[in-house]
Structure 1
């Protein structure tokens, strides 16, 4: 059940170094979007009810020793129990009635109460605690008490899936544990919020349909063998900590879907794409996955002739993935701009690393290319060249790469590991655990 807190001001905010004018008011919605034994994620919606501001700083105090461990869409600082979140470069200006959303991952102990109040630019916004339970699917399996914690290696959500309201999956809905493909297929359909925990090895064929507002998370060693997950016409989906092998179509296919986070999975020895994203999908993050013993890794945009659906969409972040001697498509991109490829580890890829084609704009940043003769290029097969900007990449026994053109700027905050450290960081944390 999501915990929500709303605060509405009764006064004015005085002039500060962040404020463009002398007066403002605010409303804050604080929601715990996911929680496990010793941690949680939260989203915060900030609405400006007064004069326009060109900069803001939100402050609050934790009441039970919670700590912010990572965050997005703001710069976070914590001293003791006191936390501040200052605007990022792209979301500091808020007109009257305008809103912005930020979020963070935190550590907690036995309790995790919402903050009692917030300040905006130094003045308190007061209000009561409220909210409604997150709807959950009526399970036919036995619920467990808490969702499986996220695996080690990497913090919270980063990248495009933080945009457009963020990606929370099933949130804090009751967890349903499944141990066969029929139960899994039933549990992940529909639009009710649900956290589905996969246990053991599930054998299947074809593609299992995934509905909206779902978190699909594997227990240690959980395996989907022979089939894949089809995220089609869905919103707000998280897939993490699963082993996929021997799929006979795609392992994970995303189409006509928004706000999807694919994190900490291990994929090997399948037929077609490991993680393919296409047909107007948008706001997707692909992070901390390991792909091995496979040819076609990650396709973004399925056809040169699909611009009518794909222009203005296909915005995806790929970070901290391990492409272990896979052949091609890491990723192969059409139309998406900007597509952000950062801090991935490429090892002995026989075909190529990244390809930017057909009107795409790809930022290839801070990656580690190890024995990759063709780390990145523009154009592929019959597809014309797209734009590709490469910066701060680290190359060992690898080619120079082909870059050119310009790429739109990314709208979110992120931390970049030094490229030379990416091999050890990614091999130590990527994949299912």
Structure 2
């Protein structure tokens, strides 16, 4: 796999101590950490890529109260989550310039979720890595309220109430990479609703090397955003559909591996009007034919990338996606 596709962000000294011990699948061929890739790595809106809490104080939290405290502070922080944290039936509001990273393979947030930003406190420049999310009372992760430059990487998301990872309400410049979605229906919504037209011109998101493992739908389900870049993901046994482009969204779907997915790519879904889709170099193993429509702005307009051989995607993604591949704070 190319170093470009595997770039990772050094988000403070708490991560540096364990870089040499992390598997090659997580850190890239050189074993070194680098910057966030995809749309999260683009310089825009006054933000130079996504740096999270780099330069801020490094802290470790073991309770919901401590987690809620630090993610809501105005200063930058690198927050290491240790062990299983039971959150009440609520979304903890994460404000700007935070890195939230799990320690080892057992860090978990359960019962609640993380919401990036509020209407008065933006959730820009946030990194979430190496965390397990289970049994959220609402969304597991919600990128909302004009949050931009967000990187969600190497997480495990399952058994939520609504969406596992939603991006909506004018959010922009987001990368979702190397995550494992499973045991849930609605995986990844992009775009709030058919009537929320202010999302036009925003919702630029990259999804790469994620494992959509038996989840039913929304991988992603897109409204309005363009370009949305979906590449080198592994889709397995998704009962409703893989990717859906609706409401004149523009989605590029390339280098993915669809296995036993009857409707791998849709243009339009349910009551939502059709969106534009360009597909290329995908594998459809035991799957139906993709729907395509129109033209889409090329992701290379914004950033460089290299697509892995789609035939290798099941092996690469199952070996590298999810928690425990990227270490948190030194243990």
TM range (shorter): 0.7 to 0.9
Q: Write the distance in 2 (CA, Å) between the matches of 1:320 and 1:105.
A: 13
Q: Which has the higher strand share?
A: 1
Tell me the alpha carbon deviations over residues 171-219 of structure 1, each in whole angstroms, 9 at most, x when there is no partner.
1423100001110000111331110000010001210010100000001
Q: Does 1:229 align with 2:97?
A: no
SS in 2 for 1:382: coil
Instruction: Quote the residue 1:275 is aligned against.
Output: 165
- Identify unmatched segments of 5+ residues in structure 1: 1-68, 73-103, 108-133, 135-143
Q: Is the 8 A contact 2:8 2:37 kept in 1?
A: no
Instruction: Quote the residue 1:249 is aligned against.
Output: 138
Q: Write the distance in 2 (CA, Å) between the matches of 1:106 and 1:407.
A: 29
Q: Following TM superposition, by how much is the alpha carbon of 1:404 offset from its aligned partner in structure 2, in angstroms?
A: 1.3
Instruction: Quote the residue 1:50 is aligned against.
Output: none
Counterpart pick for 1:423 among 314, 319, 322? 314
Q: Does 1:203 align with 2:203?
A: no
Instruction: Quote the residue 2:323 is aligned against.
Output: 432
Q: Which has the higher helix share?
A: 2
Q: Write the distance in 1 (CA, Å) between the matches of 2:14 and 2:67.
A: 18
Cα 1:382–1:197 change in 2 (3 A) is same
Counterpart pick for 1:213 among 72, 75, 97? 97
TM-score, scaled to structure 2: 0.86
Instruction: Quote the residue 1:146 is aligned against.
Output: 14
Q: Following TM superposition, by how much is the alpha carbon of 1:71 offset from its aligned partner in structure 2, in angstroms?
A: 4.7
Instruction: Flag the structure with larger Rg.
Output: 1
Instruction: Quote the residue 2:61 is aligned against.
Output: 178
SS in 1 for 2:111: strand
Q: Following TM superposition, by how much is the alpha carbon of 1:375 offset from its aligned partner in structure 2, in angstroms?
A: 0.4
Q: Write the distance in 2 (CA, Å) between the matches of 1:174 and 1:206.
A: 26
Q: Write the distance in 1 (CA, Å) between the matches of 2:139 and 2:131.
A: 14
Q: Write the distance in 1 (CA, Å) between the matches of 2:99 and 2:320.
A: 20
Counterpart pick for 1:194 among 77, 91, 109? 77
Q: Is the 8 A contact 1:241 1:431 kept in 2?
A: yes
Counterpart pick for 1:369 among 214, 236, 258? 258
The root-mean-square deviation of aligned C-alpha atoms, in Å, is 1.9
Q: Does 1:166 align with 2:99?
A: no
Q: Is the 8 A contact 1:190 1:211 kept in 2?
A: yes
Tell me the alpha carbon deviations over residues 110-166 of structure 1, each in whole angstroms, 9 at most, x when there is no partner.
xxxxxxxxxxxxxxxxxxxxxxxx9xxxxxxxxx96237576434452110111220
Cα 1:300–1:106 change in 2 (3 A) is closer
Instruction: Quote the residue 1:15 is aligned against.
Output: none
Q: Write the distance in 1 (CA, Å) between the matches of 2:40 and 2:283.
A: 26
Cα 1:266–1:105 change in 2 (3 A) is closer
Instruction: Quote the residue 2:329 is aligned against.
Output: none
Q: Following TM superposition, by how much is the alpha carbon of 1:105 offset from its aligned partner in structure 2, in angstroms?
A: 5.6
Q: Write the distance in 1 (CA, Å) between the matches of 2:60 and 2:137.
A: 25
Q: Is the 8 A contact 1:70 1:106 kept in 2?
A: no
Q: Write the distance in 2 (CA, Å) between the matches of 1:145 and 1:215.
A: 12
Query: Comparing both chains, which one has the higher relative contact order based on Cα–Cα distances under 8 Å and sequence gaps of 6 or more?
Result: 2
Instruction: Quote the residue 1:404 is aligned against.
Output: 293
SS in 1 for 2:272: coil
Q: Write the distance in 1 (CA, Å) between the matches of 2:74 and 2:297.
A: 33
- Identify unmatched segments of 5+ residues in structure 2: 29-33, 325-331
Cα 1:105–1:222 change in 2 (3 A) is closer
Tell me the alpha carbon deviations over residues 383-429 of structure 1, each in whole angstroms, 9 at most, x when there is no partner.
00000000000111011111111000112011210000000000000
Q: Write the distance in 2 (CA, Å) between the matches of 1:431 and 1:161.
A: 19
Q: Is the 8 A contact 2:135 2:158 kept in 1?
A: yes
